[in-house]
C-alpha cells in the first residue's frame, strides 16, 4: 500500500509505538523541571531570520549552512527555529519578564529544524526538551540546571552517560586567549582543513570541534581557555565544580569543549552517551550572559540546556508497552449498537477505557477484534437486552447487570 509520497529526507513520522516512548520522556522532564520551579513556555516554530543571525551568531555552522530560511508573502525573511534559546530571550524581552521575580525559570519542548546531513541521531526536524534560568549569574544556577538534566537522564535510565564540563570565560577575558589561539592556528595554517583555515579570524574556537585529522593534530598542542581562566571567571568555574562535587555528580573537565552556538560565556557542558555512535551528545548547554544584551535588552545573565528527544529515545532503545483496553462492548444483535455506544460513554466517564465496534462486524469478528486490540474484558450485549461479561485471559463468561458494569470492571484486577 506504499504511496509515492514519503516523509521528507531527514524527517520521520512518530508512530504510536514511538510516541509512547516520547510521552514518557516528556512526562519525566515536565515533572522534574516543574518540581524545581521551571514553568512551561512555548514560542513559534519560526522567527525573523535576524534573531538567529544575531543570537546564534553569523559565524556558526547553524547560521551559515543549516537554517531553513525563506521569504514570506510580505517579503520578510523567516527562519524555522534551529534552536530555542534565542527565541526565549526574545520572548523574555518582548514580554518584559525582567519585571518578574528573577531568575525566570522556563522549560520548553517541541520541533526544531536544521538542514544537516541526515544520519542516525541527526535529523532535519528533531525535538528538544530544554530549560533556561534567566536573570542569575550565580554558579548555583549553573549547578542546578546541570543537576536537573543529570536527574532526568538518570531517572529515565539512559545508560553510559558522561558529563563533560568546560568554561569559555567572559568575552573580555576571552579576547587575549583568542589572539593566542589565532596565532597558533596561523602558525599551522597549512595543516588545517579549509573550513577551519577560513574561519581563523571569525571563529577560531570551532577548530577544536573539527573531525579533520590534520586539524586535530594541530589542536592537540593548542592553548586551551580553561588553562587561561582568571579572576572572577576562574572563581565562577571553581564554584560550579565544587557544587557538582557536593551533589555527587561526576564529570570530566574537557578543556577543548566548544559548542556550536556563539552565545556561550563561562560554563559550558555536554552530556554524551556511548550508545549513540557519532552523534554522541544527548544534551548540553551553558551560560549565555551576553545574549539578551546582544538582542537589545539590558545586561542579563542566563544559563540553560537542551536535550534531543530522539537521542534520548535511541539511547534508551526500549519499547513502552501499548496500553491495553479495559473493555470492549460487543453486540450480538445490531439493535444493541446504540446501547453499546451509550454504555461505552458511561464507562469512559467513569475512567475506564472502553471501545465499541466501528466496522459493522458480526459477533465473532468483534470478539476477534477485541482480542487483537488487547481488551481485557468484553461485554456482550445480547439481543434480549441481557449482558455477559467475558474475561479475555481466562475465557470465563458470566451474566452481568449492565447498570453495574462500571463497578464490576473498575474493581477487577
185 vs 322: CA distance, rounded Å: 55
Q: Is the Cβ of residue 116 or residue 180 nearer to ligand HAM in the bound state?
A: 116
CB count within 10 Å of CB 389 equals: 21
Q: Does 306 bind ligand HAM (CB under 6 A)?
A: yes
List Cα–Cα distances, 298 to 104, 291, 295, in angstroms.
15, 10, 9
Q: Does 130 bind ligand HAM (CB under 6 A)?
A: yes
Exactly one of 128, 136, 167, 173 binds ligand HAM (CB under 6 A); which one?
A: 128
Exactly one of 307, 347, 367, 392 binds ligand HAM (CB under 6 A); which one?
A: 307
232 vs 239: CA distance, rounded Å: 10
User: Cα 49 to the chain's mean position, in Å?
Assistant: 22
Count of residues that bind ligand HAM according to CB under 6 A: 29
Q: Does 305 bind ligand HAM (CB under 6 A)?
A: yes
Closest of 7, 35, 158 to residue 107, by C-alpha:
35
Exactly one of 83, 142, 151, 326 binds ligand HAM (CB under 6 A); which one?
A: 83
Q: Is the Cβ of residue 185 or residue 261 nearer to ligand HAM in the bound state?
A: 261
For helices 309-316 and 16-35, the axis angle rounded to 10 degrees is 110
Q: Which residue is nearest to ligand HAM (CB)?
A: 308
User: Cα 209 to the chain's mean position, in Å?
Assistant: 22
Closest of 193, 191, 258, 195 to residue 218, by C-alpha:
191
In the complex, what is the shortest distance from the CB of residue 304 to ligand HAM, in angstroms, rounded to a whole number? 3
In the complex, what is the shortest distance from the CB of residue 249 to ligand HAM, in angstroms, rounded to a whole number? 18
User: What is the pattern of x (binds ligand HAM, CB under 6 A) and - over residues 243-262?
Assistant: ----------------xxx-
Q: Does 126 bind ligand HAM (CB under 6 A)?
A: yes
In the complex, what is the shortest distance from the CB of residue 237 to ligand HAM, in angstroms, rounded to a whole number? 17
Q: Is the Cβ of residue 59 or residue 353 nearer to ligand HAM in the bound state?
A: 59
Q: Does 142 bind ligand HAM (CB under 6 A)?
A: no
Kindly provide the b/e burial profile for residues 88-97, where b requires at least 16 CB atoms within 10 angstroms of the residue's own CB.
bbbbbbeeeb
CA torsion 243→248→249→252, rounded to 10°? 90
CA angle (308, 313, 315) in 5-degree steps: 95
Exactly one of 55, 139, 283, 290 binds ligand HAM (CB under 6 A); which one?
A: 283
Given the rule CB under 6 A, which residues bind ligand HAM?
83-85, 114, 116, 121-123, 126, 128, 130, 132, 259-261, 281-286, 288, 304-308, 310-311
Amino acid at each position: 500500500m506504499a504511496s509515492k509520497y514519503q516523509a521528507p529526507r531527514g524527517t520521520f513520522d512518530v508512530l504510536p509505538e514511538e510516541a509512547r516512548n516520547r510521552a514518557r520522556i516528556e512526562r519525566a522532564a515536565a515533572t522534574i523541571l516543574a518540581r524545581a520551579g521551571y514553568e512551561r513556555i512555548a514560542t513559534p516554530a519560526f522567527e525573523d531570520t535576524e534573531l538567529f543571525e544575531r543570537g546564534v551568531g553569523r559565524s556558526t555552522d547553524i547560521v551559515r549552512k543549516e537554517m531553513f530560511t525563506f521569504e514570506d508573502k510580505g517579503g520578510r525573511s523567516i527562519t524555522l527555529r534551529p534552536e530555542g534559546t534565542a527565541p526565549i530571550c526574545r520572548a523574555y524581552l518582548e514580554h518584559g519578564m525582567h519585571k518578574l521575580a528573577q531568575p525566570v525559570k522556563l522549560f520548553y519542548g517541541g520541533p526544531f529544524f536544521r538542514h544537516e546531513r541526515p544520519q542516525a541521531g541527526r535529523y532535519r526536524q528533531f525535538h528538544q526538551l530544554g530549560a533556561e534560568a534567566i536573570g542569575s549569574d550565580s554558579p548555583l544556577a549553573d549547578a542546578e540546571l546541570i543537576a536537573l538534566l543529570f536527574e532526568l537522564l538518570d531517572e529515565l535510565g539512559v545508560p553510559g552517560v558522561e558529563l563533560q564540563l568546560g568554561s569559555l570565560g567572559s568575552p573580555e577575558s576571552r579576547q587575549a586567549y583568542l589572539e593566542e589561539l589565532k596565532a597558533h592556528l596561523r602558525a599551522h595554517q597549512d595543516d588545517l582543513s579549509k573550513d577551519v583555515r577560513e574561519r581563523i579570524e571569525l571563529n577560531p574556537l570551532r577548530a577544536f570541534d573539527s573531525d579533520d585529522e590534520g586539524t586535530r593534530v594541530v589542536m592537540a598542542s593548542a592553548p586551551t581557555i580553561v588553562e587561561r581562566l582568571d579572576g572572577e571567571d576562574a572563581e565562577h568555574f571553581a564554584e560550579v565544580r565544587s557544587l557538582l562535587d557536593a551533589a555527587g555528580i561526576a564529570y570530566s573537565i574537557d578543556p577543548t569543549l566548544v559548542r556550536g552556538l556563539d552565545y556561550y560565556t563561562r560554563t559550558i557542558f555536554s552530556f554524551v552517551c556511548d550508545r549513540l555512535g557519532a552523534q554522541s551528545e544527548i544534551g548540553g548547554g551553558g551560560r549565555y550572559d551576553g545574549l539578551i544584551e546582544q538582542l537589545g535588552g539590558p545586561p542579563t545573565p542566563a544559563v540553560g540546556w537542551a536535550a534531543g528527544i530522539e537521542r534520548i529515545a535511541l539511547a534508551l532503545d526500549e519499547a513502552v508497552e501499548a496500553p491495553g483496553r479495559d473493555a470492549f462492548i460487543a453486540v450480538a444483535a445490531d439493535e444493541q449498537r446504540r446501547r453499546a455506544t451509550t454504555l461505552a460513554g458511561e464507562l469512559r466517564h467513569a475512567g475506564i477505557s472502553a471501545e465499541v465496534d466501528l466496522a459493522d462486524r458480526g459477533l465473532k469478528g468483534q470478539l476477534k477484534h477485541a482480542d487483537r486490540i488487547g481488551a481485557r474484558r468484553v461485554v456482550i450485549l445480547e439481543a434480549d437486552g441481557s449482558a455477559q461479561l467475558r474475561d479475555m485471559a481466562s475465557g470465563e463468561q458470566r451474566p452481568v447487570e449492565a447498570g453495574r458494569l462500571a463497578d464490576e470492571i473498575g474493581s477487577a484486577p
